[in-house]
Amino acid sequence: MTQTGPADPSGLPQGCDVMYGEDIVAEATASAVSSVGADFQGGRSPEGGVIPGGETLYAFSGGGAVRAMQAIRTLVSTCRTVSVKSGVAISTCSFANGSGPRLGDESLVVRADVAYSNFPGVVQYADATVVRVGSTLVELHSIAMSRSEVDAIESLMPIAVAQLTSAHPKPVGAPEAGGLG
């Protein structure tokens, strides 16, 4: 893996051994006292595919969730561009901080644009959307897909936040929870 930006003696900035938005979030939330994740798939994208994604909840003590949100923003700024070589192909991911949905106490989107040397001009997206509710973070993410597929996953965040604050939560992908079904 190669990386542009300030380097440590190993050649990578600390925490930049990442490729997707969810990797940035996972690296920046290492101080969570507890976390649980689930993968989901369902619905149909405009391209006709099944939309896969994932959800992770992170619980923190004290002001840990606020610090984790800042750590995510900082790590995105540090790891602007990361390249991974696989055989003769190189995958390059460019990260940017984006505005999150107006939910919870604060939110953000880790924008992850992925390009492939063996498919010139093709860009896919592997974003992660994070909402902080008190001392908990809820994160939805995708694998590298089209923008419309990633946006479909991000559109589930209101359901995920409602489930987080509900007395009777259901998995975000469950049809009875209003998910992709």
Give pLDDT tens digits for 113-142.
999 889 999 899 999 999 999 999 999 998
Whether residue 117 lies inside any domain: the answer is yes
163 confidence band (pLDDT: 50, 70, 90): confident
pLDDT at 3: 43
173 within a domain of the structure (yes/no) = no
Instruction: Give the pLDDT of residue 1.
Output: 45
Name the DSSP letter for residue 177.
Answer: G
Mean pLDDT (the chain) is 83
**Number of domains present in the structure of the chain:** 1
* Cα angle 71, 19, 1; round to 5: 110
For the stretch 17-40, what's the b/e string if a residue is b when 16 or more beta carbons lie within 10 angstroms of its beta carbon?
A: ebbbbbbbbbbbbeebeebeeeeb
In a domain, 176, yes or no: no
The reply to whether 15 falls in a domain is yes
pTM: 0.82
On whether residue 148 sits in a domain, the answer given is: yes
Residues found in the chain: 181
For residue 177, name the pLDDT band (cuts at 50, 70, 90): low
Could you write out the three-class secondary structure of 66-131? Answer: HHHHHHHHHHHHHCCEEEEEECCEEEEEEEEEEECCCCCCEEEEEEEEEEECCEEEEEEECCEEEE
Q: Is residue 155 part of a domain?
A: yes
Per the structure, the complete domain to which residue 29 belongs is given by: 2-38+56-165
Residue 44 within a domain:
no
Instruction: Output the CA angle 118-126-55, nearest 5 degrees.
Output: 145
